[in-house]
Every structure is written in C-alpha cells, then in structure tokens.
Amino acid sequence: MFWTDIVGFITHVLSRHRFRTITLWLAIAIGVVAVNLLTALGEGAKSFVLKEFNVLGRNTLIVLPGKKETTGGMPPLTGESPRPLTLKDAISVSRLSGVKAVAPIVVGNIEASYDGKIREVLTIGTSRDFFLIRQLKVSQGQILPTLDLDKGEAVCVIGNKLRQELFQNKPALGERIRLADSRFRVIGVLNQGGTSFGFDMDDVIIIPVANAQSVFNVEGLFRLFAEVRVYQQLDNIKQAIIELLKERHEGEEDVTVISQDAMLTSVQEILDILTIAVAGIASISMLVAGILIMNMMMITVSQRVKEIGLLKALGATSSTVRVLFLSEAGLIAAVASMSGLALSQLIVLLANIYFIELQFHSPWWAQVGSILLAILLALIFAWLPAQRASMLSPVEALQGKQQKEVS
C-alpha cells in the first residue's frame, strides 16, 4: 500500500467511527490545552513578577537590616539585627563616591481621615530620591523634599485613587490629611501607576521618612535603596556599602546588600521550576488520553477482525496492518493536538484582553512539546493493539475469530 492509500483508508475509517474519533480527539485536545494554559499562566505570572522587580532598574542596590547567614537562594525579606538601619546610615551611604541616589523606606498601614472620611491606607515614609529611583511622577503638584534627619514640614504625596475617594471633585493640593495625631498637607498627586511589589501605588500616601518614623514610632528603616551611577561599579559599590555600615555598626556586619540582578536571577529560577512543574502535572492528562487510546484501539481490533482478515487475504503484510493502526492513532493525535493548541491560543488571547496588567503567553517549548508528546504517547499506547491486529491469522480473522495468544 502507498501512503496515499493508507491516508485514504484511515480517513474513511475515522469518518465511519465518528463517536470513537471524537472521544479520542477530545481526550488528546484537552491534554494539549491543559499543558499550554498552565504554562501560559506560569509564564504570565513570571513576566508580571519580573516586570515588578525591573521597576527599580539594574543599577539599584537594596540594603536590608540583618545578616543573611546561609548561601544560595534569595535573602530573607526581613532581617533580624540588633542594630537597625538608621537615617544617619542612609546619609552616609549617599556620600559614597559612585552612589547617585539613596531612598530610605519606612512602611506601614495607618488610618487616614479627611472631612469625616476615614480609611486605612498604606503609608510610605521616604525622600525625594525614592521618586527618582522608582520612576514615580506626579500629575499635580510636586514630590517630597530631600532627605533630612529631622522632621520637616508635614507634607504628603497621595495616589490618584486615594485623591478621588477623599476629595472627589475638590482640589486636593493644599488640603490636610490627618494621620494618627499629625496633619499632612497635600503637595502632590501621583500619576495613575498600577501596582508595584504588591502595593497599589494609586492608593498610597507618601510622607517624609522622619515624619513616618514619628507616626509609626519606629527608629529603624524597613529598607534602603541605593542607585549607583554606573552599572559596572555595582559590585564595588555593594562592597563599599557593606564596609561602611560595618564600620558604623561597631565592626559588625549586620546588613544584607542585594542587587536587582541577584533577585531577578533567583526569582526567575524559582518561577521557571514552577512553570515546568505545572506543565508536568498537566502532562498527566495526556498520559490518561494515551491509556484511553490503547483501550479504544483494543476494542477496535476486536470489532474489525473480519476487516483485518480481508486486508491480509488481499496481500497486506503484518507490518502493513501494524502501520495502519499506528497511523490511525498518530493522525488522530496530530489533528487533536493542533486543534488543542489553537484552542489554547484563543483562550490565552481572550484572557489577555480581559486581564490587561497580567499578560499570558505559552512558551514555544510547551507548544511544540505538547504536540510531540501527544503524538508520541498515542503511538506508544497504540503499539500493543496494532501488534495484536498484525498477528491475526487471515483465515481465523475472516471467520470472525481472534487468536487467543499474540506473540
């Protein structure tokens, strides 16, 4: 038989057994859809997280209180240190050669009130350099003043959403918002900016760091961002910061300094492993589809005994019969996997239209791998039924009998 004859024969068989064809098509297509959707979800989450980290830029170093003692992986998000980071530490770091900007950070939630409206809001204590490092811009007014050890004027910059909720259509600039026992004058309103590190920047109040320490009654800093002038000097500046703070902290190295590259590498490795893991879990559905193919093909062999006998009587060899059954399974798997891939891409496209900030995309290796895996599993699980069909005796098959044993 020529390949054209084989394809024609298989097409005729598949169209004649529609229910079996549709069942196998659905089983394989669902497996391919599952693999591509789960990997698209993983890749979308990875892109979102990496984009959030990239907000700070490659030139930024993050100083955490507390010394990380273990090696490998990401540093802890919080550090235990007998000596906290202070504003004086921040000012000393800003004086290092090669450091472009330094932004101390104090973070907390506190009730904000204005004209009888009260709500809890994320409050960030920092300085002017935070806006430069974080690339924040204001739609109205101005940003915070430069870093100062002492409490200056109680001013604040608020997010766009918070402005709408507290002031509605009234002008916000010049108005005063109460935080704890202090009143802060609004000097700026942020551009609409979405989320950053899990914080909604449209729903924040940013105040001078010294004022934040007073409001939250804390002495130490939560974090310290330091932006270097030249990326090539990143490692040197990192070591210089460690040495400087070690000297200021009585010879004890009690801080952890990490770079964006280190964080990005660690996070990307973790997310890559998770993406592969969910793809592996989804592949189990394709294994189930392969078992279904084997069972259905076994039933098909028992139902088509006379047909197999006729083929052999007309001169078809055992290898030809085997190829027919394997080709049948392979063709179903190929068509089903391609349609499953198309369906998954359609779902991803619709999801990207609905979820604007979180964009999903299935990686090429998942798309190609899901198709190849579907075809490979189909051929593997179809081998036993195909072998059984190829070993049938022509005479017994024409009589509707099956061999009791297949060697």
Tokens of 33: 């859809």
In this predicted structure, what is the pLDDT of residue 206?
A: 93
Contacts of 63 (CB under 8 A, 6+ apart): 85, 93, 223, 224, 225, 226, 241, 245, 255, 256, 257
CA distances 85 to 135, 153, 277, 378, 384, Å, are 24, 23, 39, 61, 69
Scored b (16 or more CB within 10 A) or e, 156-192 reads bbbbbbbbebbbeeeebeebebebeeeebebbbbbee
Q: What pLDDT does residue 377 have?
A: 86
Quote the pLDDT of residue 310.
Answer: 63
Beta bridge partners of 196: 199
Is the per-residue pLDDT at 390 higher than 90? no
Q: Which residues pair with 327 in a beta bridge?
A: none
Whole-number Å distance between alpha carbons of 319 and 382: 14
- Is residue 340's pLDDT more than 80? yes
| Residue 279, amino acid | A
Band (185; pLDDT cuts 50, 70, 90): very high
pLDDT tier at 173, thresholds 50, 70, 90: very high
pLDDT of 95 above 70: yes
Please say whether the beta carbons of 37 and 259 come within 8 A.
no
For residues 41 and 360, the answer to whether their CB atoms sit within 8 Å is yes
Structure pTM? 0.60
What length does the chain have? Answer: 407
